[in-house]
Amino acid sequence: MSSRREIINYMGAGAIGAAVGFYAGARELLGIQSDETVRQVPEDSSTEDPSAGDTSTEESSTEDASLEGVWPQAGYDAQSRSANPAGIPQRSEPSEQWVFETGWEVRGEPAVSGEELYFTSLDGNLYNVDATTGEEGWRYETSETGWTSPALWDDLVLFTSARDDALYAIDADSGSLSWEFETRDSIWRSPKVVEDTVYFGSNDQNLYAVDIESGTEQWRHSTDGAILSVPAVADDRVYFTSRDDNLYCVDQEDGSELWSVQASDQTDPLIGSPTVVGETVVQSARGGPQRGYSTRDGTVLWETDVNGGGGSVHDGILYYTVNGQDGSTLRAVDPPTEEVQWTLDQAAAGNITDDVLYYTGENGAFGAVDLESQNKIWESTLSADIKGSPLVVDEWVYLPGGDNNLYAYK
């Protein structure tokens, strides 16, 4: 398994340090509830050992007792590259292990640290469950969350609430409130944690920087539209979009504007989130083209001739989704030039663990692509709509479902 030093080198010492510290205090579950919300799935009875179904849950818990994987927030790192190059991938077709039922759709990907998994549901709850059994440790209730993922920092779990207009910091051990930061309107997207600061946008048209230890505001940057994007941070700059159709670059220290550029000429508002790849910031508009902008001054470096969205990065190559009448196509491009390296039909770009990209397809399909060979290595099907990218940590595959469930495969 790759060392934590390799992870630190990739993400930056400040960003991953908090996540590793979070794991170092691995905790037992608190206040485990009944099995009403968790369905354990036994091994396939057709395996050679006929007793496997009776012991699978116990054996799995023992085998995975030393899980060390970390996926600390939406997009994984500060630049939102959605890739953990030091993670342990799932290279074989997995089977369903457990299902956790919530009161509404699960829209965001989980955050994971060792055996602890955290995720939100549109039912308004932040959930803490065991990553290998799905047993609930605690939940924190709000009025309604948006399409959000939690972010981990030291012993806190940070997440946003749409209807409460607030960012919450929750104690990871007890599930109790440490502090909350209120804005003047709803918050629909995930926060981004970098070192000791959390960045997030609100429908009140502001991007906020808040000190994580104290919950106090460091600065805010005002725009002329609601902010429905997850910020990306690189080289002391913060990138985000607003529904005023602009892509913004502001100073990480004080929030002063360095440049902004109109990034959408479509009827639909700009709601996509940026990804930083080297000296290029990539941004897509719903219903519009994918564009690469210079991180230095916002100059357009390239533009696709097709509708695109999403983005993950591995070895300097950008993977994103092209939306067409015949379904989705995974496209691999060189970010500085947008030169197409290869494509894969019936696959939408997703998160990357090691050198394996996990995609979604039509009718509940999900699978894995080896990025070296550029071939699909397995594909499976979920009986529900998948509402986010598959997330793989320590060979476990987590899927947010439109049927109110979070699914775990291995």
Q: Give strand pairing partners of 333.
A: 318, 340
Fold of 4-303+381-409: Methanol Dehydrogenase; Chain A (2.140.10)
Residue with tokens 């179904």: 53
Separation between Cα atoms, residue 261 and residue 300, nearest integer Å:
9
Question: 172 with 133: CB under 8 angstroms?
Answer: no
Tell me, what's the pLDDT at 63?
40
How high is the pLDDT of residue 56?
A: 35
> In whole angstroms, what is the distance from residue 302 CA to residue 293 CA?
7
Q: What is the 3-state secondary structure (H, E, C) of 199-231?
A: EEECCCCEEEEEECCCCCEEEEEECCCCCCCCC
Q: What is the pLDDT of residue 10?
A: 38
- Please report, in tens digits, the pLDDT of each residue of the chain (410 residues total): 333 333 333 344 444 444 444 444 333 322 333 344 565 554 443 333 333 333 333 333 334 344 568 999 999 999 999 999 999 999 999 999 999 999 999 988 999 999 999 999 999 999 999 999 999 999 999 988 878 899 999 999 999 988 899 999 999 999 999 999 999 999 999 999 999 999 999 999 999 999 999 999 999 999 999 999 999 999 999 999 999 989 999 999 999 999 999 887 665 666 678 999 999 999 876 666 788 999 999 999 988 766 767 789 999 999 988 877 777 889 998 887 778 899 988 888 899 999 999 999 888 999 999 999 999 999 999 988 898 889 999 999 999 998 999 999 99
Domain-by-domain residue ranges, the chain?
A: 4-303+381-409
CB neighbours of 50 closer than 8 A, spacing ≥ 6?
none
In the 8-state DSSP scheme, what is residue 364?
G
Strands (E) located in 41-191 = 70-71, 83-84, 96-101, 111-113, 116-120, 125-130, 136-141, 151-153, 156-161, 166-171, 177-182
How confident is the model at residue 287, as a pLDDT?
60
φ and ψ at 258, to 5 degrees? Answer: -95, -40
Find the farthest-apart pair of alpha carbons in the chain and give their distance in angstroms, rounded: 65
301 CB-contact burial (10 Å; exposed 0-12 / middle 13-18 / buried 19+)? middle
Task: Dihedral sign for Cα 77, 83, 87, 90, please.
Answer: positive
